[in-house]
Amino acid sequence: MTISGEVSVEGIVLKNKAYKENDMLVWIYTKDYGKIALIARGAKKLKSKNAPACQTITLGDYTFIPRIGLSTLIKASSCDYFRHIKEDIELESYASYFIEFIYKFTKDNDPDELSYKNLFLVLKYLDAGYDPKLVYLLFNAYIMEITGSALEVEQCTVCGRHDHIAGISIHGGGFVCQECIGIYDLKLEVDVLKGFRYINLCKLENIDRLHLDEAVIIKLIEIMEAYIDEFTGMTFQSRKFIRQFNGL
């Protein structure tokens, strides 16, 4: 980061931790500058005006002095605490998963407008009362896409045919037809196959167009988690809580 002087940006707090006696390290994700590490001096003090905006799962405005490595926070004000998320341990577990992915996957000072937009959307959806399992499915489809592992949902991954799709291959990365389905592939009902296609084609902003039965959603969660494990190589602390809530 080579900007001189103070900079003011909107950002979402991904992580914080104590630093020295009264200070705090804060990582925020911004549309314009990507992930930024800030040192918030005095943020641990009870009377600190910056402390509320330095809490995780918070949208705020942040003014800081850019530096190589740690930048210095000057002032911070909260725009949205996502109060309903923080009042519900299940919603908070989903939000923590979304934030954990962005924190682990993104690089410092490497902006990605789509990642910022989608992180903001999923937090707003959770806070507004959307089905967290459906939000989770769409975000996992986005993870597959952004990590370069978008799934094939238009044709058989083996022979390329568009009809007689019978299941999916975890290793193959998508649909398989009835002629190519193997012993390790998943043979699925039509409604699950349709749901699998929908969630991998639907953008997060179009969530209102998706209407899936609860049983289909639960099955798709299990499938998408298998793909995340197979293709991304990433592990998530927060996911164990999500699995407990969904009985997986």
Whether residue 191 has pLDDT greater than 70: yes
Whether residue 87 has pLDDT greater than 60: yes
Burial of 123 per CB tally in 10 Å (0-12, 13-18, 19+): buried
Helix crossing, 190-201 with 214-232: angle to 10°?
A: 60
| Terminal C-alpha separation, the chain | 43
Q: Is residue 106 part of a domain?
A: no
Structure confidence at residue 247 (pLDDT): 72
Domain boundary among 67, 83, 99: 83
Over residues 200-213, mean pLDDT: 96
Q: Is residue 201 part of a domain?
A: yes
Whether residue 248 has pLDDT greater than 70: no
Over residues 55-75, mean pLDDT: 92
Q: Judge if 154 and 74 occupy the same domain.
A: no
Q: Is residue 122 part of a domain?
A: no
Structure confidence at residue 85 (pLDDT): 98
Looking up residue 177, the CATH number of its domain turns out to be 1.20.1440.120
Structure confidence at residue 47 (pLDDT): 85
Structure confidence at residue 136 (pLDDT): 97
Over residues 87-93, mean pLDDT: 96
pTM, rounded to two decimals: 0.93
Q: Is residue 124 part of a domain?
A: no
Q: Is residue 214 part of a domain?
A: yes
For residues 54 and 67, give the distance between their C-alpha atoms in angstroms, rounded to a whole number.
19
Structure confidence at residue 3 (pLDDT): 52
Q: Is residue 90 part of a domain?
A: no
Structure confidence at residue 200 (pLDDT): 97
Structure confidence at residue 163 (pLDDT): 95
Whether residue 67 has pLDDT greater than 90: no
What element of type H or E holds 202?
Answer: none
Whether residue 35 has pLDDT greater than 70: yes
Q: Judge if 58 and 164 occupy the same domain.
A: no
What is the sign, positive or negative, of the torsion defined by CA atoms of 200, 204, 206, 211?
positive
Looking up residue 72, the CATH number of its domain turns out to be 2.40.50.140
Residue 140 neighbours by CB under 8 Å, 6+ apart: 224, 225, 227, 228
Boundaries of domain holding 57 = 7-83
Over residues 74-92, mean pLDDT: 96
Q: Judge if 67 and 161 occupy the same domain.
A: no
Q: Judge if 62 and 152 occupy the same domain.
A: no
Q: Judge if 169 and 234 occupy the same domain.
A: yes
Q: Is residue 166 part of a domain?
A: yes
Could you report the per-residue pLDDT of 124-161, keeping only the tens digit for each?
A: 999 999 999 999 999 999 999 999 999 999 999 999 99
Q: Judge if 38 and 141 occupy the same domain.
A: no
Q: Judge if 78 and 158 occupy the same domain.
A: no
Q: Is residue 113 part of a domain?
A: no
Q: Judge if 136 and 73 occupy the same domain.
A: no
Over residues 171-191, mean pLDDT: 97
Whether residue 215 has pLDDT greater than 60: yes
Over residues 63-84, mean pLDDT: 92
Q: Judge if 63 and 162 occupy the same domain.
A: no
Q: Could you tell me which residue, 198 or 44, shows the higher pLDDT? A: 198
CA 31 vs CA 57, 87, 213: distances in Å: 16, 27, 34
Q: Judge if 236 and 138 occupy the same domain.
A: yes
Over residues 211-233, mean pLDDT: 95
Query: What's the total number of domains in the chain?
Result: 2
